[in-house]
Amino acid sequence: MPKTSIESLYQSHPELIRFQTEIGRPTKLGEALTIVGHPFAEPVDNQSLLRIALEQGLPLSDVETAERVIATTGFTTRYLSHRPEQSSSPENIVDRTTTIGAILLKETMKAKGWEDIDVFIDTSAFLPDTVNQGVLEKAGLSPDQVYTRSYRYACAGAVSAFIDCLSDPAMQNARIVIAALEPLSHLCAPEHFSQLETIAIPSIFGDAHTLLAFTPNHFHLENKQVLVQPDGGVIKVRTLYNFQETFSEPDTIPDHYRFANNGEGIFHHSDKGAFLDIPYPTNGSTISMDGMKTGFFFGDQTMLVMAELLNEYGNLNLLKELGNKNVIIHPASKPVVDRIAKLLRRNPQRFLDTPNLPFLMDKAKHSNSSSATTLNRWRYMIENDLIDPRLPMFWIAPGIGSAIAGAIGWIKE
């Protein structure tokens, strides 16, 4: 295919040009990995979010409570490319996102010094599984010469893809890029901003587009698990992929996958991708959330997966030994992270003696951007000396549907 320049990609979407100088330097952890990303959206702090809510009809009498709800999430900044009063078609969302993906893919390959790649995996909460082909074509790479997969595990997608790649003997020397493409602001409607019952949704969720490039032979995983089990629809999303139309070959499911409560019924896996059957909102909305049930389910279930991994690893003091370093957790919100920490301390085996797991996303100035969140946190930790490649790493990411992906391992070098 003909080579495509980054400049021509920006010219195809002139509204993206203003972000070109903000992408900044790639984040590298030696030769092991490179992370490149940008939300391609405007930052919205808590006061700005409250102003948008008032514009959308939030009653003045609810302002004080809304401020508390927004602050309680722990996030101080989220990125919104889509304002609630704007309309956008699925075609436009996909076109803009694949252009962003192609820009970041070319930047990532440049940073790695790669002329080509072997594997390209796109992860997203709601986009169709045609995204990977669109990104490759716009980047001037042939989809026929790159092995592609799509992961639709919402927040657990990128970590699950990372674990699966490291676990596949055929991929050990492959040049792999995982692209977490999450334009979540397109799921937010005016009523999410204007009502106390739903303002937590735009408080928590925002846009991010973050790419991870690596070769598996730089890593070793000691133990790993992806647990699939229904979450009861605590968060519901109107996805642009149809789960019933995705192909499934159960024999291809890796051995490190576990299923509970008939999780097999909400999961499809094949060489084309892996998908969760995320329930649709019943009220006609694009997204709905029961905040309390979400916190309890993911706090409790994530703690159990972490406890199993620590038991299998054989070092119950690992989290205490790591302290604030090398715990690469998906920070769904501060209450969820705090609940996980509290349950670990309550556990009879006392896996965690420190006061809390670090939230960090307020410092990183990012919000929950589904599968991109863990990569953004990892990037922040590398840039702020919170990753020590000489020590073990603990990855853990819960995603709605649900899948909870976790692993303990290290960088070989």
pLDDT tens, 370-401?
Answer: 999 999 999 999 999 999 999 999 999 999 99
Instruction: Quote the mean pLDDT of the chain.
Output: 96
Stretch 249-269: mean pLDDT: 97
Per-residue pLDDT of 276-334, as tens digits, reads: 999 999 888 999 999 999 999 999 999 999 999 999 999 999 999 998 899 999 999 99
Give the whole-angstrom CA distance, residue 302 versus residue 227.
9
Same domain, 28 and 103: yes
Domain boundary among 189, 218, 247: 218
| Residues 17-56: b if buried by 16+ CB within 10 A, e if exposed | eebeeeeeebbbbeebbbbbbbbbbeebebeebbebbbeb
Q: Is 127 helix (H, G, I), strand (E, B) or coil?
A: coil
Q: Are 391 and 214 in contact (CB under 8 A)?
A: no
Q: Is residue 381 part of a domain?
A: yes
Nearest to 290 by CA among 232, 329, 370: 232
**2 has pLDDT over 90:** no
Per-residue pLDDT of 42-52, as tens digits, reads: 999 999 999 99
Same domain, 276 and 406: yes
Per-residue pLDDT of 74-118, as tens digits, reads: 999 999 999 998 888 999 999 999 999 999 999 999 999 999 999
Per-residue pLDDT of 145-165, as tens digits, reads: 999 999 999 999 999 999 999
Give the whole-angstrom CA distance, residue 46 versus residue 173.
44
Q: Are 256 and 228 in contact (CB under 8 A)?
A: no
Same domain, 250 and 378: yes
Q: Is residue 66 part of a domain?
A: no
Same domain, 198 and 322: no
Same domain, 127 and 193: yes
Give the whole-angstrom CA distance, residue 220 versus residue 217.
8
| Cβ within 8 Å of residue 96, ≥6 positions away | 13, 16, 81, 183
Count of domains observed in the chain = 2
CATH classification of the domain holding 300? 3.40.47.10
Same domain, 94 and 153: yes
Q: Is residue 362 part of a domain?
A: yes
Q: Is residue 14 part of a domain?
A: yes
Domain boundary among 218, 249, 280: 218
Give the whole-angstrom CA distance, residue 95 versus residue 248.
27
Give the whole-angstrom CA distance, residue 407 versus residue 170.
20
Per-residue confidence band for 226, with pLDDT thresholds at 50, 70 and 90? very high
Q: Are 382 and 27 in contact (CB under 8 A)?
A: yes
Amino acid residing at 334:
K
Same domain, 267 and 333: yes
| Residues 375-410: b if buried by 16+ CB within 10 A, e if exposed | bbbbbbbbeeebbeeeebbbbbbbbbbbbbbbbbbb
Give the whole-angstrom CA distance, residue 339 versus residue 341.
5
Per-residue pLDDT of 174-212, as tens digits, reads: 999 999 999 999 999 999 999 999 999 999 999 999 999
Same domain, 200 and 268: no
Domain boundary among 218, 248, 264: 218
Stretch 130-152: mean pLDDT: 97
**352 has pLDDT over 90:** no
Same domain, 196 and 242: no
Tokens representing residue 29 in the block: 């952890």
Which sign, positive or negative, has the C-alpha torsion 95, 208, 159, 141? positive
Give the whole-angstrom CA distance, residue 285 versus residue 86.
15
Same domain, 269 and 397: yes
Beta pairing, strands 287-289 & 235-237:
antiparallel
**1 has pLDDT over 80:** no
Q: Is residue 65 part of a domain?
A: no
Q: For residue 211, give its domain range.
A: 6-43+79-218
Amino acid residing at 243:
F
Tokens representing residue 122 in the block: 């796109």
Same domain, 201 and 339: no
Q: Is residue 258 part of a domain?
A: yes
Q: Is residue 211 part of a domain?
A: yes
Q: Is residue 300 part of a domain?
A: yes
With 0-12 CB in 10 A as exposed, 13-18 as middle and 19+ as buried, what is 278? buried
User: Is the backbone of residue 247 left (phi > 0), alpha (psi -120 to 50) or beta?
Assistant: beta
Which sign, positive or negative, has the C-alpha torsion 202, 203, 205, 211? positive
Give the whole-angstrom CA distance, residue 11 versus residue 138.
13
Same domain, 190 and 282: no
With 0-12 CB in 10 A as exposed, 13-18 as middle and 19+ as buried, what is 308? middle
Q: How many CA atoms lie within 13 A of 153 on its CB side?
A: 32
**347 has pLDDT over 80:** yes
